[in-house]
Structure 1
C-alpha cells in the first residue's frame, strides 16, 4: 500500500514538474508606483516583507490585473525598526 501511494505521488509530482518546465518563463518588469495612479489589482500574488530598519525602504508587490496579466509594482514604506 505504501509503495502504491509513493508511486502515485511520484507520478503526480513528475507531471506537475513537466508542466512547469513547458511553461515559458516570462520576465515581468518592475513598475514604479506613481501617486494617484489608477491600479487594476484583481489578485495580490506576493508582497515583500518590511525589513527591521528605521529608514524608508523599497517594497515590491506582485499582482494580477483583471485580464490575468502579472505585474510587479515597487513602492516605498517606512521600515519596522523604529522604536518610536
Structure 2
C-alpha cells in the first residue's frame, strides 16, 4: 500500500468516528410516554425491551426520528411474556 492509500483510509476512519459522536450528542434525553400523547414519528430507529427475559410489565424504550429528522427517545410500559411459561 502506498502512503496516499493509508492516508485516505485514516481520514475516512477519523471523519467516520466524528460523525458517530455528533449523532450521539444530538440524541434528546429520554421522555416518558403518557397515554394519548402525540408523537411525531417518521422512522423508528430502535426498540429496546426485555421481553425475552421478563414476565409482566417492563419499561421499553423507542428511539425514533421525527418528520424533521430530529432524533427522540421515549420510554413506555410494555407487557412482556417471554419468560412467563418457563416451567412448562
* Global fold match (TM > 0.5): yes
SS in 2 for 1:68: coil
Structure 1 equivalent of residue 84 of structure 2: 82
Q: In the TM superposition, what is the alpha-carbon distance from 1:9 to its structure 2 partner?
A: 2.8
- Paired positions, count: 81
- Provide the TM-score with structure 1 as the length reference: 0.73
Unmatched segments (≥5 aa) in structure 1:
none
Question: Residues of 2 paired with 1:74 and 1:18: CA distance?
Answer: 28
TM-score computed with the length of structure 2 as normaliser: 0.70
* 2:61 counterpart residue number: 60
Runs of 5+ consecutive residues of structure 2 not aligned to the other structure:
none
